[in-house]
Amino acid sequence: MTQSFATEEMVQKTVERFGGLDVAFNNAGGGARPTPLADLSPEVFAGALSVNVTGTFLSMRAQIKAMLARGGGAIVNMSSTAGLQGVAGLAPYCAGKHAIIGLSKAAALDYADKNVRINVVAPGPIATERIDSEQRKRIGQYIPAKRVGEPSEVAELVQWLCSSDARFVTGVVVPIDGGRLAGTPSFAVSS
């Protein structure tokens, strides 16, 4: 949602129906097909930032207000491992996912003393409907865990970050990528 009234209305309806807002998960994503930066139009770049960054900002803005009225809450924002490193051909997506991390960290500092926790998950390759079984096998070869992640694994991490078990966790980015960002696995083992 990239319109202020829409996000505010969504939060207002949630508060009316459930009596408040305790947790929120902002999962926005979008971008152009892989394209070198110089070949991108300004409109495509702006569109990707609008979905990823403006949508997350507007959602958080409305969510934080509702959580402050309730005495606190937890927000988890979806980024990507592309928000922690560059990916060739995906400049708009990378820029947007990097921005979500900065936005989340700044907001976490703004509201840490008001009992509103804000964290980020940064998934690597996840087995969604956009990746067929052959692609999963191929991609898995380049991940230390030798597989792509499952959507349920991301959901469990988000659930934990929203729970009271994570009550002292705020302003962090948690990669969930089977060890991909840890580095390059060794191909030779010495004794």
User: pLDDT, tens digit, for every residue of 12-56?
Assistant: 999 999 999 999 999 987 666 899 999 999 999 999 999 999 999
189 — pLDDT class (breaks 50, 70, 90): low
| C-alpha torsion sign, points 85, 90, 91, 94 | negative
The residue type found at 168 is F
142 labelled catalytic? no
d(CA 62, CA 14): 11
| C-alpha torsion sign, points 130, 136, 140, 141 | negative
What is the arithmetic mean of pLDDT over 112-123?
Answer: 98
Q: So what's the pLDDT on residue 31?
A: 64
Smallest CA-to-CA distance from 31 within 130, 104, 173, 119 is with 130
Q: Identify the active-site residue in 66, 93, 97, 157.
A: 93
Asked if residue 186 belongs to a domain, the reply is no
Range of the domain at 82: 4-179
State the chain's mean pLDDT as an integer. 93
Q: How far does Cα 177 stand from its chain's mean position?
A: 13
3-state secondary structure of 97: helix
Cβ neighbours of 178 (radius 10 Å)? 20
What's the total number of domains in the chain?
1
The residue type found at 83 is G
Asked if residue 42 belongs to a domain, the reply is yes
Phi–psi pair at 121, nearest 5 degrees: -110, 145
Asked if residue 108 belongs to a domain, the reply is yes
3-state secondary structure of 3: coil
- pLDDT score of 144 more than 90: yes
- pLDDT score of 1 more than 80: no
| Element counts in the chain: helices (H) and strands (E) | 6, 4
What is the arithmetic mean of pLDDT over 102-107?
Answer: 98
Asked if residue 187 belongs to a domain, the reply is no
User: Facing residues of 176 across strands?
Assistant: 123
pTM: 0.92
39: domain CATH number is 3.40.50.720
Q: So what's the pLDDT on residue 184?
A: 76
- pLDDT score of 191 more than 60: no
3 — pLDDT class (breaks 50, 70, 90): confident
Asked if residue 158 belongs to a domain, the reply is yes
Asked if residue 191 belongs to a domain, the reply is no
